[in-house]
Amino acid sequence: MRPFKIAVQRAIEEATGKRISLNELTYPPDPKLGDLASRIAFELPGNPKENAEALAKKIKRGGMIKNVKAYGPYLNFFADWDALSKAIVEDALKEGYGKGKQKKEKVMVEFSQPNTHKAFHVGHLRNVCLGDSLVRILRYNGYETIAANYLGDTGTHVAKVLWCLEKFHKGEKPEKNKGRWLGEIYKEAAQKLKENPAYEEEVRNVYKRLFFDKERELVDLWKKTRQWSIEEFDRIYRELGVTFDTVFFESEVEEPGVELVKQLVEKGIAKLDQGAVIVDLKDKGLGVFLLLRSDGTPLYSTKDLYLAKKKFEEYNIDVSIYVVGSEQKLYFKQLFETLRRMGFKQADKCYHLAYELVVLKSGKMKSREGNVILYEDFAKEAIERARKAVEEKNPKLSEEEKQSIAKVVGIGAIKYGMLKVSNNKTIVFDWETALDFNGESAPYIQYAYVRAKHILEKSTKNPKAGALTTESEKNLLKKIGEFPDVLEDAASHYSPHLIANYAYELAYTFNSFYNSEQVIGSDKEEERLALVLSTADTIKACLDLLGIAAPSRM
Ligand code: ARG
């Protein structure tokens, strides 16, 4: 609706001298009441109802504006659909439809951040989907964006695994799925420690030998096993089609972190408190932020402080986004406030994109004992289920084709399931819904795309932007016309679910159009083809923004 919004904005400015912003224009509840509504009458001196009536008379008709009517204090605009439909389609067919202008700010999105030596589970999947989609959305909106990962390769979880390997699995080496095997060792270690708390002392000793004494053999084992995890993560990212521009390691920011904390004490930003180092944030209602334990061992926060500094100084970023679970909300408030006290101007542009848990509709998902659904099993199930669905829908396809479509559909389905829900709501994941070809799912959207492409292939005519005026055409045109605004909203609120929801609405509106209007063989074939092409392009753009592949057949 951009072209029409701009026309209305101009007309209002001409009549009142006031320039309203485009998103002040809304859709009337019933299209019979007009195509756009304005509240401008409230903003002018005098009685809103009388203002609206006067303006309805005063505003010039012509161009895209066919008529203006007052409904109480509202001023409603009726579009000349001959002109508007052409303008929307022409817009949508341009390369990079909806792309934002190049922005000056540089953004870093840190996401995924799994811990090495541990399992990669479904909670991690939500994080990856969110972060990856956000990177795509911000880039499309015109921001230079760096996708960063931050691997947790130090800490007690690593010591536990190495302890367990040394004590109970010396010399053992898994043939394949090494990362997964490590995750099992971690589970075993946790179990043994629970049964026998006396082991704690041994784990602490491994920690010291590894990170303080840097015992050669242990360091080698750490590096070797860390690599196993990294290879596993890389395989997952490849399967998901996710890439990073830069990868940080907790181990590289640990020592400089300790140094940095010492400087903060000298500067009076942090202080000693019974041997530990803290920042007192009580005046901000944020309690006390612990930066070093009293025995001098670094913490999660020690590393994050230095990491933030590195991001600002070495990468010159203006905005720093952290995609991390919502249980760390307080922690990030404390971190950002401390960065502010350290004088970083970017501290105000640090943002914690928090997300809630994922639970499976059938069965439990997460517990401390490591009773989690592994990504690998989850993805495998998705692809198997998708394969069955493809088999049913299109049994004539070749085996190879079935398998590749199953992958696109299966991975798409889990990604969409992770993205369609707002980040601050818990996801109740359900296989039936995720793979429902008739519901709010990736396959539904992918299928609409395939159908649109199919129409374009079958026709012998060429798409041509032109007048389209039936109800279902207008509905589809309106939807397509919303895309730039949805993108803008998704980018400014860091909300990929807005794109996910919009993609579904677009697919749905397209299906309604397709069910009520003939394309091939109609006297509007060329114009309708252009509408179908605009739809296909816009669905494709949305899928790209969600990191979901668009199949060519299904
Ligand atoms: N690796 C951490 C974990 O698994 C998350 C790290 C989040 N990022 C950060 N900069 N603190 O809990």
**Do 343 and 426 have their domain in common?**
no
pLDDT at residue number 81: 95
Tell how far CA 453 is from the center of its chain: 26
Which residues, 6+ apart, have CB-to-CB distance to 123 below 8 Å?
325, 357, 358, 365, 366, 372
**Do 404 and 486 have their domain in common?**
yes
**Do 42 and 132 have their domain in common?**
no
Rounded-to-integer distance, Cα 337 and Cα 300, Å: 16
Tokens standing for 342? 């350290």
Rounded-to-integer distance, Cα 296 and Cα 294, Å: 5
- 300 in a structural domain: no
If you measure from the C-alpha of residue 312 to the centroid of ligand 1, how many angstroms do you get, rounded to a whole number? Answer: 18
Evaluate if residue 364 carries a pLDDT over 80: no
If you measure from the C-alpha of residue 328 to the centroid of ligand 1, how many angstroms do you get, rounded to a whole number? Answer: 9
Tokens standing for 141? 């909106």
131 lines ligand 1 (CB under 6 A): no
Residue nearest to atom 5 of ligand 1 (CA): 113
Evaluate if residue 361 carries a pLDDT over 90: no
CATH classification at residue 354: 3.40.50.620
The closest-lying atom of ligand 1 relative to the alpha carbon of residue 113 is 1
Between β-strands 106-110 and 319-325, what pairing exists: parallel, antiparallel or unpaired?
parallel
If you measure from the C-alpha of residue 340 to the centroid of ligand 1, how many angstroms do you get, rounded to a whole number? Answer: 20
Helix (H/G/I), strand (E/B), else coil: 378: helix
Question: Residue 408's closest CA among 420, 419, 416, 396?
Answer: 416
Which of 111, 113, 157 maximizes ligand 1 atoms within 8 Å of its Cβ, making it the mutation to test the pocket?
A: 113
pLDDT at residue number 369: 41
What are 4-63's pLDDT values in tens digits? 999 999 999 999 999 999 989 999 999 899 999 999 999 999 999 999 999 999 999 999
- 301 in a structural domain: no
**Do 38 and 169 have their domain in common?**
no
Rounded-to-integer distance, Cα 427 and Cα 385, Å: 20
115 lines ligand 1 (CB under 6 A): yes
pLDDT at residue number 413: 98
**Do 334 and 233 have their domain in common?**
yes
DSSP string, 69-80: EEETTEEEEEE-
Between β-strands 246-249 and 271-273, what pairing exists: parallel, antiparallel or unpaired?
unpaired
What are 111-156's pLDDT values in tens digits? 999 999 999 999 999 999 999 999 999 999 999 999 999 999 999 9
With vertex at residue 57, the alpha carbon angle to CA 55 and CA 61, rounded to the nearest 5 degrees, is 100
If you measure from the C-alpha of residue 314 to the centroid of ligand 1, how many angstroms do you get, rounded to a whole number? Answer: 20
**Do 169 and 55 have their domain in common?**
no
98 lines ligand 1 (CB under 6 A): no
Which of 120, 127, 150, 351 maximizes ligand 1 atoms within 8 Å of its Cβ, making it the mutation to test the pocket?
A: 150
CATH classification at residue 525: 1.10.730.10
Average pLDDT over residues 381-397: 95
**Do 61 and 203 have their domain in common?**
no
Q: Which of 296, 330, 364 is the last residue of a domain?
A: 364
Residue nearest to atom 10 of ligand 1 (CA): 304
Average pLDDT over residues 272-292: 97
Range of the domain at 158: 111-246+319-364
**Do 351 and 382 have their domain in common?**
no
322 lines ligand 1 (CB under 6 A): yes
**Cβ-contact 487, 544 below 8 angstroms:** no
304 lines ligand 1 (CB under 6 A): yes
Q: CB neighbours (10 Å) of residue 211?
A: 21
pLDDT at residue number 368: 42
Burial (0-12, 13-18, 19+ Cβ within 10 Å), 30: exposed
- 552 in a structural domain: no
Question: Residue 505's closest CA among 542, 530, 532, 468?
Answer: 542
The closest-lying atom of ligand 1 relative to the alpha carbon of residue 332 is 11
> What percent of the chain stands above pLDDT 70?
98
- 253 in a structural domain: no
pLDDT at residue number 295: 87
335 lines ligand 1 (CB under 6 A): no
- 296 in a structural domain: no
Evaluate if residue 173 carries a pLDDT over 90: no
**Do 158 and 242 have their domain in common?**
yes
Rounded-to-integer distance, Cα 67 and Cα 8, Å: 11
**Do 45 and 153 have their domain in common?**
no
233 lines ligand 1 (CB under 6 A): no
The radius of gyration of the chain's CA atoms, rounded to the nearest angstrom, is 28
Tokens standing for 418? 């992770």
Rounded-to-integer distance, Cα 308 and Cα 322, Å: 10
- 329 in a structural domain: yes
CATH classification at residue 75: 3.30.1360.70
154 lines ligand 1 (CB under 6 A): no
- 94 in a structural domain: no
**Do 346 and 479 have their domain in common?**
no
Q: Which of 330, 364, 398 is the last residue of a domain?
A: 364
Tokens standing for 330? 């307080």
Average pLDDT over residues 410-429: 97
Evaluate if residue 534 carries a pLDDT over 70: yes
The closest-lying atom of ligand 1 relative to the alpha carbon of residue 308 is 10
416 lines ligand 1 (CB under 6 A): no
pLDDT at residue number 50: 97
113 lines ligand 1 (CB under 6 A): yes
What are 286-304's pLDDT values in tens digits? 999 999 999 888 999 999 9
pLDDT at residue number 370: 46
Predicted TM-score of the model (pTM): 0.95
Per-residue H/E/C for 515-532: HHCCCCCCCCHHHHHHHH
**Cβ-contact 189, 198 below 8 angstroms:** no
pLDDT at residue number 395: 94
324 lines ligand 1 (CB under 6 A): yes
If you measure from the C-alpha of residue 18 to the centroid of ligand 1, how many angstroms do you get, rounded to a whole number? Answer: 48
Residue nearest to atom 9 of ligand 1 (CA): 304
- 370 in a structural domain: no
pLDDT at residue number 363: 59
**Do 56 and 183 have their domain in common?**
no
Q: Count of domains in the chain? A: 3
The chain-wide mean pLDDT, for the chain, equals: 95
Q: CB neighbours (10 Å) of residue 178?
A: 17
Residue nearest to atom 11 of ligand 1 (CA): 304
If you measure from the C-alpha of residue 113 to the centroid of ligand 1, how many angstroms do you get, rounded to a whole number? Answer: 6
Residue nearest to atom 6 of ligand 1 (CA): 113
If you measure from the C-alpha of residue 327 to the centroid of ligand 1, how many angstroms do you get, rounded to a whole number? Answer: 11
150 lines ligand 1 (CB under 6 A): yes
